[in-house]
Each structure stands twice: as C-alpha cells, then as structure tokens.
Amino acid sequence: MEQRLSVLRAAKLAGVTRAELQFRIKQGDLPSFDGTVGVGDLLNLYPATRMSDDRTLEKLEKIKAAALGKDIANRSLPDPRVLAERLARLGHQLTRLRQQNEQYAVVLESLENRLRELEQEGDASTRAAVLEIKRTVQSALHQERVESYASGARTDGGSWMTVMAPQVRLVPDDHEFLVEGADTVLEAALRAGLSIAYGCSNGNCGECKARVVSGEVREVRPHDFVISETERTQGYALLCSVAPVTDLVIEVGVASSPDQIALQSIDALVREIQRPKPHVMLLRVQTPRTRRLRFLGGQYARLRVGDEAVEALLPLANCPCDDRNLVFHVAEDREDPFARYCFEHLRKGDPVAVEAPFGDFVIPGDVKRPLVFLACDTGFAAVKSLIEHVIALDEAYGIDLIWVATGAIGHYQDNLCRSWEDALDSLRYRPLRVNSVSGDPETWSATLAGALTRLENPGACDFYIAGPQPFIAVAQDLLKRINVSAEQCRSQTVPPER
C-alpha cells in the first residue's frame, strides 16, 4: 500500500506552502483522498522532494527564521524524555511491521507452493489461470519496490516527521500545525499564527487548559495550576506545559476576529530602542513572563510613558506569535508629545503601560486569495505585523508588498523586506519613493497607479492599506478604478484615529 501524508506534512517535505499544495489539489494537479496525498503523486509533482532528508524541515524553518528574525537554536531538538518516548513508539511500530512482513512472507510462500501444485496437477486452463495469478502478484511486488525506492521508504518520511515534528489538529475549527523541537503545544500553536486561549503561558492561570481528544502528551514544564483527576481522565491538559508524544487532536477554539480577544492592560518595560533612520524609532517593549499580550496581526495598542503619562495609539509591528516582545514604530514629530518624549527622554528599562488590542485591521479566517499590502511611511508597522502573521500561518497563495516612503521617513526596514522576498518565493516587494510633500494626493496617485498596473490580476486579490488618511483615500480610489470592490479592501489609518 502506498504511503500517504497529510497535506501539511507533504507541504513541509516539498518545501512549499500548504496553500500552494491545496491550490494544486483543487486544480487537479495532485490527487488527494480524505485530506492526504500519496508519496508517489507528491514526487511526480515535486521531484526535488527528499523523503529521507532529515534536514528538510530544519532548513525550511531556518529560512523563516532569517526572514522573521526568530531564533530557533533553542528548539532544534525535542525534550529528551519526549523524544525517547516517540522513538520507543516508533520502535514498537517497526517491530509490528516487521512481524507483519514475516507473516506476509509465510503466506506468499504458502501461496507459491499451492500454485506450483495446481500448475503441475491441473489442465491447460488451470495452468493459464495460475500463470496469470503469478504475473499479477509479481507485478504488484515489483511496483511496490519501485515506489519504495523512489520515496525513500527505508527512511519513512511520515514516521520521521512524527518523531521530529508531530502534527496537531485543533477541533472544531480544523486548524493543523506541527510541533517542532522543544516547543510546547501552546508555543507551536502561536508560532503557527493561531490565537488560542492562554494567559500567563507558564502554568499558573489555567486559561490554556484543553481536552486532548486523541493522542498522547507528556508534561515537560512544571505548573502550579491544579488539574483534577477527573479532568485528567477526560484528557484535559495545560497546553503551555505539555509536548506531544504522538500526533494529536485537541478540542480548543481559535480566535479569528477581534471580538474574540479581550482587552488587556499590561505594565511592560522598554527592552531596546533602535534608530534605523534619523527620524524613525523602533521601540521594543517586553511584557512580564506571566503577562503576555494576546492579539491578532494588524491590531494596535495604546502606550503610556513618562511621569505625565503621555500616550499614543500605535500599530503593533510584530507577529502575534512573539507575544512577549512587542514592537512599535515611532516617527519623529515635534508636534506630538508622545513622539517628542520618545526621541528626547525614553531610555532602555523605562516603564511602558500597554493597553491592547484595538482595531479590526486583521485577516479574517483562512486566507483564500492572494494578498496585496499597500503601506505609506510608518503604516508599514501594521502591514509588517500582518505579513509576519500570514507567513506564520503558511497559507498565503501570494503576497505583494508596495511600500511608499515620503519625506525623511524612507524605507527604514528595507533589508527586512528584501529578506522576505529572498526567502519566500510567493512574496514580491516594491519600494516606492515620493519626493514631494507627504500630503500630495496627485503624486501618490501617479506613483501608486504605476505599481498597481504591475499586479497580475488585482480583481482576484484582497488589499490591505495602512498609512495617513489621504494616502488611504488615494489608494481606494485607484483600486475602485481597476474594478476592485470595497469588500476586497481593508484599511488602517496610521497613526490610528482616537
């Protein structure tokens, strides 16, 4: 029987996004059955797939890490106890398969002896039937050897991935992700861009308690929250404290809209201040280990700093998967008390009051179409959060990023955008420069119009626009002219309107 893989695992081994593989299935390029694809069909479509290369998954994650700035060194291998249990289970499975193979060998030998007897004792029609049976069996065995060799079945890709990266399916929303390295189930879900319920993430609050419907987990982190014996019997576990031993099905909801996430107030500290350009500041704020911010890509926060509590509304500029290290982009503005305080007085270690999340500039549900992001100046912050969220979800059919820079702001994270483009085949980056004053609609219109004409099929895309209100108005007008409907567009004024 041909080995079959889930779409998620097949995409990882082939080095493509899950969205691309699902698109090829819908196009009829890749046969599928019950959410799985055959190894032979996968190899026919992607000949470069190496089922026996145990570095494939790590290589893909390093590409993502380089693009998103994530450190994966500390999660390259699972917890030793968990890995030992997975290997033990794999050993038991291989033992059973070996026993089955031995049994099949005995059956085949018996069949061969009986066919030989019939061939010697029977008439011409019996001998012809025996010959046909022999040819059928030999052809099937030969085909199995060919497919096994082609797929590297001697080092089963599916079994290897179960050991190194078990798969988790969340019901009833039917989201899937892999748990890699030493991640807990909660950490892996967040890295995959899925916003499940959690609070402290270190075993104290119990908000990430969920029922494991099938599969086995092992506690790898201590926790103070008490799970009753009755709940343990029913399969409940703290997702922040367990790692999978086998593939899992877990009953837990996933937030896909802003109204599913409560407003949070957190006292944080300035972790780092960077000045990539003279008139732009990257403000990195770290929350306590016991209070992490749950949000969706594209949302924004209210920040308060200083003894006089000057405040501002700023887009979160990081992926929700990095829920403790929050990033904000601050443009220099002498007329804005918050920006002036940040550039003149704010220092590393200073307290910052964070209230979030706000806004509905998010990607609702699953990504269904190619995405186009239009950003102007520090509107890039909101777009950056969305793009990193989409990359974590691994579901984008295609991404176009058009970043318009005006005045002294510039493309202050140009290298990051180019690293995305280098690492991800589906992402195209177009930096545009407007040399006139930032509020000139005619200049914006001419610059954007040229970039939009280069899109292959804008009517089949979803658009996300972030920047000053005049820029948004110009972009919406241009999109309307090329028959992009209002339902295909979402926008966020930056800075957000109070």
Q: Check whether residue 15 and residue 144 sit in a common domain.
A: yes
Reported as a pLDDT band with limits 50, 70 and 90, residue 155 is very low
Structure confidence by residue, pLDDT tens digits, 166-220: 899 999 888 899 998 888 999 999 988 898 988 888 888 889 999 999 999 999 8
| pTM of this structure | 0.78
Same domain, 141 and 31: yes
Mean pLDDT of 454-474: 93
Whether 292 and 398 share a structural domain: no
Give me the domain span that covers residue 107.
1-160
Output the pLDDT for position 11: 84
Kindly indicate the confidence band of residue 397, based on its pLDDT and cuts at 50, 70 and 90.
confident
Mean of all residue pLDDT scores within the chain: 84
Check which CATH number belongs to the domain holding 221 and give it.
3.10.20.30
Mean pLDDT of the 44-55 span? 66
Asked if the bond preceding 276 is cis, omega within 30° of 0, the reply is: no
The answer to whether residue 448 is domain-embedded is yes
Mean pLDDT of 359-382: 92
- Residue 434 located in a structural domain: yes
Q: What is the CATH number of the domain that holds 335?
A: 2.40.30.10
Total structural domains within the chain: 4
Q: Is the pLDDT of residue 484 over 70?
A: yes
Range from 100-109, 304-313, 470-479 carrying the lowest mean pLDDT: 100-109
Which pLDDT score, from 0 to 100, does residue 368 have? 79
Same domain, 247 and 329: no
**pLDDT tens for each residue of 217-241:** 999 888 889 999 999 999 999 999 9
pLDDT tier at 40, thresholds 50, 70, 90: confident
Q: What is the pLDDT of residue 347?
A: 96
Give 53's pLDDT tier (boundaries 50, 70, 90).
very low
Region 378-396: what's the mean pLDDT? 91
Between 373 and 390, the higher pLDDT residue: 373
At residue 490, the pLDDT reads 96
Report pLDDT for 139: 73
CATH assignment at residue 477: 3.40.50.80
Statement to judge: residues 390 and 330 lie in one domain: no
Last residue of a domain, one of 189, 222, 255: 255
**Which pLDDT belongs to residue 274?**
96
User: Pairing mode, if any, of strands 462-467 and 264-277?
Assistant: unpaired
Task: Give the pLDDT score at 417.
Answer: 95
Residue 130 has pLDDT above 50, yes or no: yes
* 58-88 residue pLDDT tens: 545 555 555 555 554 455 667 777 767 776 7
More confident residue, 341 or 15: 341
Domain boundary among 126, 160, 194: 160
Residue 126 sits in the same domain as residue 9: yes
Quick: pLDDT tens for 265-295: 999 999 999 999 999 999 999 999 888 999 9
Q: Which residues of 36-72 are buried (b: 16+ CB within 10 A; e: fewer)?
A: ebbbbbbbebbeebbbeeeebbbebbbebeebbebeb
Do 211 and 266 fall within a single domain?
Answer: no
Are 265 and 250 contained in the same domain? no
Same domain? For 481 and 348 the reply is: no
